[in-house]
Structure 1
Amino acid sequence: MSIAPRERHGAHVQFALERGLPAMIGVLGARRLPYPSRSFDMVHCADCHVSWTAHDGLYMLEIDRLLRPSGYWVMSRPPISWKSPYKGPNKTIENLDGQQLAMEDTANKLCWEKVSDKGTVSVWRKPINHLHCAQEAEFLRSPPLCTEDDPDSAWYVNISMCRTRLPRVELVGDIAGGPVEKWPQRLAAVPPRIANREIKGMSIQAYKHDFSIWKRRVELYGTYLKDLSHRSYRNVMDMNAGFGSFAAAMLKYPVWVMNVVPANITDNTLGIIYERGLIGTYMDWCEAFSTYPRTYDLIHANGVFSLYIDKCGILDILVEMDRILRPGGAAIIRDAADVVLKVKEAADRLQWRSRVVDTEDEGPDPQKLLIVDNSLPLPGS
């Protein structure tokens, strides 16, 4: 996932998306980034314009929350290895040396191990658990471990001045939270959060059943959208991703999927999605998504309009989808039949080329699909 702020003179996120790479507009500030804990295997920063040593290392605490156990933090360019040849504005030897020393001190307090320091690149590794860090943390006067906050909660949540607590382990060599499979086996394997029953009410059986259902549904989608097989789509968004099974079933196509978990639902599944080797973010669909216009080729919305029907208007959500979709883009809207008919009326107002069709289930089905394919000509044109 590439993350960059909105800039006047260089829309880096837009450039990445136009190249078919996952990216979001984002900035590291007082609030957590909209991702769960233990999400990323590696975080990389090069010229990212973040004052890592400010506020007693607050931003490095956020990186620690996001990194998986044994994950890597890679820093390139000053203040790291400032003695290497580098020219930059407002950079003095004293300033760079002080910043690097402060970063080294914060990394030690987080129990990170420095595994490489070469040229303008330094690499730290997060520990696999916190067992061996307890005495060391007390000696180094490390920030305390977080106690009551939910480490996966990250929608309008402030960064705390504490270290994110890892799941308990029995042995020093155990990986906190459990190991994940290598890619691509990770995609179909049972995620540790489900295997360890970290999320109430989510069973292994339900997870496997969900994956089998979405394999069948994606097969049907391919018959409705012929361009899916013709490599016409690259950037795909799932507005209500659940376990991420839609994205997993899309593996056979040359696409990547931005898995969105609505912030207002009870079951927080985004950590599961990351453990499957997929990416995603939290979102409230009554607000604008953190991306530029015309950046997604295909949007999938499963139950989104029913979820928000009492919170914001159907047309409001459709207008945001219209902003995100590229010209000629497509959408698949799955919802209750009466809701789909209302969405169809609103879609016609936007001059979307859409049709209501049956789902993959035989016999009576309370759901319908609205297939939007804006690459088709308008009726009568």
Structure 2
Amino acid sequence: MMLYHPLVNPPAEVVHQALLYWDGISSVVPRALPAPGRRPPSRTPEPALDLLRPDLQELRDRGLYSPLVVDPDLLYPLHHRPEACPPDEPDPTWVILEDGLRRMAGSGRPPRPPASPGHFIIPMKTHWRLEELLCELGLAEEVQRPDLPEGYALSVAEEVQQFVVGTVVRGIADDASRSGTAHFPYTDREEAHRWALRPSPAGRPVLSWEMELGRLLPLPAPGTPTAEVLAFRERHRDERLRLMRALHRMLGDLRRDYEHPADVLARLRREIDQAVGDYRAAVRASRTAWVSRSVTVAVALGAAGAGAHLAPGLEWVLGTVGGYTLNVATREVRPAAKEAREHDFSYLHRVGASLGEPPPARHGLLHRAVRALPFPRPRR
């Protein structure tokens, strides 16, 4: 399940991406206040559905969109959730939040709330302590919002909003995955993606692979009706599922066999080539106009990759599948709160960023590499 952040309503392009290449899409929605005279629910709070666009409400009725209501304590687990970390150790997510916000407030040009509010932290999506800290540091101002359940929101600079939501989203994904459906963070905001992965000053980073998948995942051109996307989704269900399974298997194998990424692609090349070819034929046969958008996935290796002979800042050409070159790069990221999490993936979708014609395939290290990688070059 795609977990879109940082807003309640994802852009149409992201919704179409979810309909074609995911089982569905979710986003974090504030809790609805109970109606007068009704007791608040004790276990499962209701989402404020009136904040959703009509198209999302229709997708919810079809079982393709799920509003996600977050446990507020998830955003402030210090001493409140002893199972999250030992009592004498601060939660890494909160350390990043508090450290980052204090740095912002103490900078030469702190990101103060704008005169004309445009970005918000919504109550009932956060913990009161976080709201208190934002206001205490002068990074948020309370503004009236009659459209929200509590009647107000915190106006913040865009930088603050993306920092807060990006920092906590992987914890939200872990919490949501307890239902049995895996959730993967997905955003169209580069800063939110960066903050979601930023190493904590209180902990050791782990390495991750980064890979561009956009050319393998064509999208209907802007303005395409969602009904048309849904029709394609149903008509070409088999082709979609084969492509999704092949790419998901590749990402999972890259996480497990991190020392031999070129071998991973070599093993799966035929399966991916066939899946990409079948799907591309379905795309060509449709009457819809299609575009390619940049979609980057970060695959955290976790503690298992700590002993690998890898270093951050390297980039490697794995090879060509479906006529497109696949690259992987290494970077340092914050480890997941749960090391046992099987697939720690995070996605960045650059809305409106078209991918041009693919460059000629070249093998070996790219110019950004700082030293040779310790595994064999990809097969030609």
Q: So what's the TM-score if we normalise by structure 1?
A: 0.20
Which has the higher Rg, Structure 1 or Structure 2?
A: 1
Higher relative contact order (CA 8 A, sep 6+): 2
Q: So what's the TM-score if we normalise by structure 2?
A: 0.20
